[in-house]
Amino acid sequence: MDDEEDLSNPKKISNEDSISQKHSAMIERLTNLHQSRLQQQEISRKSDSNLSPSFESTKSFLDRFSSLKQAIETELDRCRNISDRESKSILIKSDLEKISLSISNLEKLVAENSYFLPNYEVRSSLKTISDLKEKLELVNSELLPKKKFAFKSKSSKTKEQNNVVVVNENVIKENDVDSNVKVRDSPGFRDKEGVVLIKHFGDLEEGEFTLENLNSCEIRLIGRLRAIFVHKLKNCRVFVGPIMGSVLIEQVEDCLFMLASHQIRIHHAKKTDFYLRVRSRPIIEDSNGVRFAPYLLVYDGIESDLKECSLYEDTGNWGNVDDFRWLRAVQSPNWSILPEGERSGTVYISKSETSSENS
pLDDT given for residue 276 in this prediction: 95
- Is the domain spanning 54-143 CATH 3.40.1550.10? The answer is no
- Selection from 182, 151, 205, 177 nearest residue 94 by Cα: 177
Q: Is 353 exposed, middle or buried (0-12, 13-18, 19+ CB in 10 A)?
A: middle
Topology given in CATH for the domain delimited by 158-358: Pectate Lyase C-like (2.160.20)
Percent of the chain with pLDDT over 90: 31
For residues 224 and 136, give the distance between their C-alpha atoms in angstroms, rounded to a whole number.
25
The structure's pTM equals: 0.53
pLDDT of residue 130: 81
pLDDT, position 137: 82
**CATH 2.160.20.70 placement within the chain:** 158-358
Sign, Cα dihedral of 322, 323, 325, 331 = negative
- b/e 27-47 (16+ beta carbons within 10 angstroms → b): eeeeeeeeeeeeeeeeeeeee
Residues of the chain with pLDDT under 70: 1-27, 29-56, 83-88, 115, 145-185, 202-206, 327-329, 351-359
> Would you list the DSSP string of 55-84?
HHHHHHHHHHHHHHHHHHHHHHHHHHT-SS
| pLDDT at residue 136, rounded to an integer | 85
Q: Which residues contact 96 (CB under 8 A, 6 or more apart)?
A: 79, 136, 139, 140, 143, 144, 177, 178, 181
- Which pLDDT score, from 0 to 100, does residue 14 have? 58
Give span(s): CATH 1.20.58.1250, the chain.
Answer: 54-143
- Determine the pLDDT at residue 322: 87
